[in-house]
Chains A and B, each alone.
Chain A
Amino acid sequence: MLRRSRSGPAWSWRAAKRGAAVVNAVVNKAPTLLEMRSITKTFPGVVALADVNLEVRTGEIHAICGENGAGKSTLMKVLSGVHPHGTYSGDIIYRGQEVRFADIRASERAGIVIIHQELALVPGMSITENVFLGNEPRRRGAIDWRGAQRRVVELMEQVGLKEDPDTLIKDIGVGQQQLVEIAKAFAKDVKLLILDEPTAALNEADSRHLLELLREFKRQGITSIIISHKLNEIEAIADSITILRDGRTIETLDVHADGVNEDRIVRGMVGRELGSRFPDRTPAIGEVFFEVRDWTVRHPISTERLVCKNSSFNVRRGEIVGFAGLMGAGRTELAMSLFGRSYGIWLGGHVYKDGKEIQLKSVADAIGHGLAYVSEDRKAIGLNLLDDIKTSIVAAKLPKITRHGVIDQVKEHRVAEEYRDNLRVKAPTVDEGVTKLSGGNQQKVVLAKWMFTDPDLLILDEPTRGIDVGAKYEIYGIIQRLAEQGKGVIVISSELPELIGLCDRIYTVFEGTITGNVSRRDADPELLMKQMTSTKKMATR
C-alpha cells in the first residue's frame, strides 16, 4: 500500500482521547503526532529541502530513508529547532498545534529529542553527570546529586544499561554510550525520539539490543523517528518509511502492507534518470597493475572495530574503478590506510604493483610508488588555505622543482601556469590565494597537485563534492584523460549516477567489507544499492 504523506486529517484533542483508548490497537489507526507540511529550506545557492511532507503517528517507529545529501538530516534539524522557525517555510504541527521552535531547548521542552550520529557526551564525566548535563535537578540552587543518583538508576534500567552510574563515559563502549544518550533523552521526558544513524558505529550485538529497545519503547507508547542507511534493520523494525530524494518527499510506505522490502525501498531512493552528464569515452583497459589483498585495518581508537575487513581488489591500467558505499562504509578509511597508513591501525594485507609487492608505510613511500590521494575534504586536509595556487600545485613533489634543496622559482611558476591552462583553473594569475577560488577551481588545483607527482594510480575521494554542474563535467573529463594516459583511477563517490556514468567497474563496500564487484555493463543503481546495504557477499560478476 502506498500512502502519500500529504493530507491526513487535522488532529484534535478529541481524536487524541480516542487514540489513547486504542493505543495498543493497530498503529496505523493511531492519531498523528507530528506533521511537517511543505517544508522548504534553502541555503545560499542550494535548495536542501523542497516542499517536504512528513507525517508521524503516535506510537509508531517511522524511518526516513534517502541517499547521502537527500535532506534527511536537514529535515530533522528543522524539526528540532537547529534551523529555527523563520529560516524555513512550511508548518510543523505537533500534538495538534502549530509549533515554532526557536532553538533546540524549545523543541526539547516539547518532548522532541534528537540523538545525533556523533554522540554529544563528555568523555571525562560519569554516566550520571552526562545524563543530567544541562538538565541538572536542583534543590535550593545547588545540584541535587542524591536525587539524580536515584533517578539515573531508573533511567538506566529503562534503557537496559547495566553499569555503575559513576563510570566515566570514556570507559564504556560505543553501544553503551548510545544508551546513555537515550537515557539522557528520557531524563527530559521524551515524547518523540529521533535517532540519526543510531547503529552506524555499533557492532551487531549492540545494534540488535538497540533495535529491541526501540520496540520496547513503542510498547510504552513512545514514538521514534529513525534515520538509517541499513535497510535490513529498517525493514525489520519500522512501521512506516518516508523516502526523501534530492530534498523532496518521494513517498511514504506502510511496512505492514504487502510488497515493501529492501528492493522496494532502494527503488524509491535511487529512482532517478541518468542523463548523459558524462563526456564520451572509449576505455582502453590494460592488464592488472595494482592489487590489494586481504587489507585489514582497525579503527584508530576503538580496538574491536575493523574499518577494513580483508579487503581485496585490483585496478587495471587505463581503468576507472569506482567504490560505492554509504557514509561510514569504510571507503575513505581504506583509501587513506593504503596511502601511507594515514588512517587507523594497519593489521595486515599486501599491496602489489606490477606484480611486485610494495611497502606503503609512509605517505612518502606511497608517493614514491606512484600513488596519489585526493581527499574528500579539500579544505580540511587537502589544501593549505594560506597558500597560493602555485605553491599548492607543487607541494606534494617539491624535488621536481628544486636543485640542492633550493626552489627554482621560474620552473615553479612555469609548471603552475601549465596546469592552470590545461585544467582551466579560473584565476588571473598563479599567485592568487586558493581561498579566493570557487570549489570547482580549488578541486582542479588539488587535482593538479597530484597530477604533478606523476602518479600511476590516483585515488579520488568524492572528487565532485560541493562543486557545481559545469565544473563537475570538466572534472569528469580530467579523470577520463588520466585514464587515457594509462593511469589507474579509483573514484570514491556517494553519488551512484556519478559512479555508473564514469566507472568501468564498481566495487561496493558495506561496513568495511567489499561486498561486490560490478562491471559497467551490469551496473544499475538498484543492484548497487542492494550490495551497499547488505553484508551478504554477492557473486562476483
Chain B
Amino acid sequence: MSRYQDLKKNLFGGTASNARQFGMIFTLVAIILLFQVLTDGLTLTSGNLIAVVSQYSYILILAIGMLMVIVAGHIDLSVGSVAAFTGIVVAKAMQEHDLPWQAAIVLGLLVGAAIGAWQGFWVAYVGVPAFIVTLGGMLLFRGGNQFIGNADTVPVPEGFRTIGAGFLPEVGPNTGYNNLTLLLGLAACTAVVWREWRARQIRQEMGAEPTPVWVSGVRLAVMVGVIVFATLRFAGGRVGTSLPVSGIILAVLVIAYSFYTRNTAGGRHIYAVGGNARAAELSGVKLQRVNFFVMMNMSVLAALAGMIFVARSAASGPQDGLSWELDAIAAVFIGGAAVSGGLGTISGSIVGGLVMALLNNGLQLEGVGSDMVQIIKGLVLLLAAALDVYNNSQGRFSVIGSIMRPFRREEPAPVTAGADSSRETDKASAAG
C-alpha cells in the first residue's frame, strides 16, 4: 500500500464514503484558505469564527438528524417548520405562562418528540412516503406557528437566550484568554490522543496490520494543531465572548451521534435499512421501529435547533426556519451521503455543512449579494451530487485521488466486481 493510500485509509476510519469525505475536507480547507486570502485574513479572526459557529450551529444540528433520515432512505422537508413551531410554543409558554426557561427547553424537546411521533407514525406504520408526510408537516407546522403566534413576533427572556447567544463564562486568573475554552481545548487534545492510542490497540487486538507510526503521528499532529489553533482563536476573542454555548451543544451531539451511528447495533440497523430494506427485514431488523426512530429523532433535533435560533435572535417569529430543510439536506449530500440511502457519516455531513457555512460567510465578508451566494451554493450542491453519481458509475473517485493516480505505484485493483455481476444478470436472464 502506498503512503498516500495509507494516509487516506487511516485518516478517516473505515467507512465506505471515504474518498468523498477526503475530497470534502480538502475542499473545506481550500475554501478557508481562499477566503482567508481574499478577505485579508478576516475569515480566521476570532470574531468571525465565533460568528460562524453561532450563526450555523443550528443548521449543523439539523444535518445530524437529516443524515440519519437520509441514510435510512427517507427525507424530511418539515424541519424548518417544526423548528419554527417549537420556537413559538416555547416563547409563548415563557412569555404568557411564565414557564421557567429550563422547563421551557424540556417542553420544546417534548413538542419535538410529539411531532416526530406523529410523522414517524405515518412514515413507518402507515407507509406514506416521508417526502409526502413531511411536505404536509412543512405546511402544517408553518401554519401552526402563525396560528399560535398570530403571525407576530414573541420575545424570549434573558435566561433562555443563553443556549443561542451565550458564551462560556470568564473564570479563573486573567490569562488573556477565556480559561474554560482553553480547558475544553486541552480536553479535546487529550481525547484525540487517547482515541488514536485506542484505535492502534484495537487494530493490534484484531491482529490486523498496524497503522504505521508515522501515519498516526501525522494524523495526531494535524488534529492537535487544528484544535490548538481553534482553541486559541475561540478563547482569544473580545472579552466576554468565547466558544458559543450552541457550539458546545453541537459538539456534544456530534460526538454522541457519531458514536451511535458507528458503534451501536441501533446505528447499524439504520444503515442496513437504507442499504437494502428487504435484506435488513429478513435479517430480523424491525423496519418500522427504525423508520419511526429516525423520523422522530429528526423532529427532536429540529425542535432543539429551533430553540437555539429563537434564543439567538431573542424572539420567535413567523419567518423562522424558512428553507432550513434545504440547507440541512444540502449539507448531508455535500458530505457524501447517497441519495438512495445506506451511505453517509455524521462527520461527513458536518464537513459538508461547514463547507456551505464558510462559503456563505466568505462571500458575505466579500460583500457578495445574497443572489450570487444562492447561485454559488446551488452550483456547489449540484457538483457534489454529480460527483456522487460519477462515483457510482466509475467506482470511487476523489479530486485528490484523480490527481494522485499517476503517482501510484501498485497495480490498480482488478475490476472483477462489475464483470462478475453483469455475467450473473445475464445468467439470470438466460435461465428459464
Contact = CB atoms under 8 A, between A and B. Distances in A.
B363 to A, nearest CB: 35
Nearest to B265: A398
Given A364-B286, A407-B264, 14 more contacts: A44-B422, A44-B423, A48-B430, A74-B429, A363-B281, A363-B282, A380-B279, A385-B275, A386-B271, A396-B284, A410-B202, A410-B205, A435-B417, A466-B424
Interface string A307-319: 0000000000000
Contacts of A391: 268
A438 B416 contact: yes
B275 A466 contact: no
Q: Which 6 pairs from chain A and chain B are nearest by CB?
A: A43-B426, A384-B275, A48-B430, A396-B283, A69-B431, A398-B265
A526 to B, nearest CB: 21
Given A384-B342, A395-B272, A439 B16 contact: no
Contacts of A327: 432
B419 interface: yes
Interface string B388-432: 000000000000000000000000000011011111101111111
A interface, over-half SS: mixed
Interface in A356-386: 362-364, 366-367, 373, 375, 379-386
B423 A436 contact: no
A384 B280 contact: yes
16 contacts: A43-B426, A43-B429, A72-B432, A74-B429, A362-B286, A381-B276, A381-B278, A382-B282, A384-B271, A385-B276, A386-B271, A391-B268, A436-B417, A439-B424, A466-B427, A466-B428
Given A72-B432, A384-B280, A405 B266 contact: yes
B406 to A, nearest CB: 24
Given A383-B276, A406-B263, A410-B202, A367 B284 contact: yes
Contacts of B206: 409-410, 413-414
B356 interface: no
A409 B423 contact: no
Contact of B282 (A69, A77, A375, A409): A375
A395 B265 CA distance: 9
Contact of A46 (B16, B416, B426): B426
Contacts of A402: 264-265
B281 A439 contact: no
Nearest to B338: A386
Contacts of B330: none
A370 B178 CA distance: 59
Contacts of A77: 429
A220 interface: no
Contacts of B431: 68-69, 73
A316 B230 CA distance: 67
Interface in B99-148: none
A339 interface: yes
A363 B284 contact: yes
Nearest to A41: B430
B355 interface: no
A519 interface: no
B343 interface: yes
Given A46-B426, A363-B282, A384 B272 contact: yes
A381 B268 contact: no
B199 to A, nearest CB: 10
A435 B413 CA distance: 13
B14 interface: yes
Interface of A: 41, 43-46, 48, 68-69, 71-74, 77, 327, 339-340, 342, 362-364, 366-367, 373, 375, 379-388, 391, 395-399, 402, 405-407, 409-410, 413-414, 417, 429, 431, 433, 435-439, 449, 466
Contact of A449 (B263, B275, B283, B342): B283
B256 interface: no
Given A69-B431, A381-B276, A439 B420 contact: yes
Interface of B: 14, 16, 202, 205-208, 263-266, 268-269, 271-272, 275-276, 278-284, 286, 342-343, 416-417, 419-424, 426-432
Contacts of B280: 384, 395
Contacts of B284: 340, 362-364, 366-367, 396-397
A101 B177 CA distance: 81
A363 to B, nearest CB: 5
Given A381-B276, A381-B278, A413-B208, A44 B419 contact: yes
Nearest to A70: B432
A372 to B, nearest CB: 10
B343 A431 contact: no
Contact of A384 (B202, B279, B420): B279
Nearest to A49: B430
Nearest to B432: A73
Nearest to B278: A381
A438 B420 contact: yes
Contacts of A379: 421, 424
A396 B361 CA distance: 46
A43 B416 CA distance: 16
A398 B268 CA distance: 9
Nearest to B341: A386
Contacts of B421: 379, 435
B263 A409 contact: yes
A493 B276 CA distance: 25
Nearest to B414: A436
A407 B202 CA distance: 13
Given A339-B282, A435-B421, A386 B342 contact: yes
A46 B430 contact: yes
B21 to A, nearest CB: 15
A380 B265 contact: no
B282 A342 contact: yes
Nearest to B206: A413
A395 B342 CA distance: 14
B96 to A, nearest CB: 41
A519 to B, nearest CB: 29
A243 to B, nearest CB: 15
Contacts of A342: 281-282
Nearest to A342: B282
A260 to B, nearest CB: 24
A474 B279 CA distance: 24
Nearest to A407: B263
A436 B420 CA distance: 9
B273 to A, nearest CB: 9
Contacts of A433: 16, 417
A387 B343 CA distance: 10
Given A413-B208, A433-B16, A405 B416 contact: no
Given A409-B263, A466-B424, A68 B432 contact: yes
Most-contacted residue by chain A among B205, B276, B343 (CB, 10 A)? B276
Given A46-B430, A339-B282, A381-B276, A407 B208 contact: no
Contacts of A73: 429-432
B268 A407 contact: yes
Most-contacted residue by chain A among B271, B282, B416, B429 (CB, 10 A)? B282
A307 to B, nearest CB: 18
B264 A406 contact: yes
B259 to A, nearest CB: 8
A402 B263 CA distance: 9
A182 to B, nearest CB: 21
A364 B281 CA distance: 9
B24 to A, nearest CB: 19
Contacts of A68: 431-432
A410 B202 CA distance: 6
B272 to A, nearest CB: 6
Given A407-B265, A413-B206, A384 B276 contact: yes
A396 to B, nearest CB: 4
Contacts of A413: 206, 208
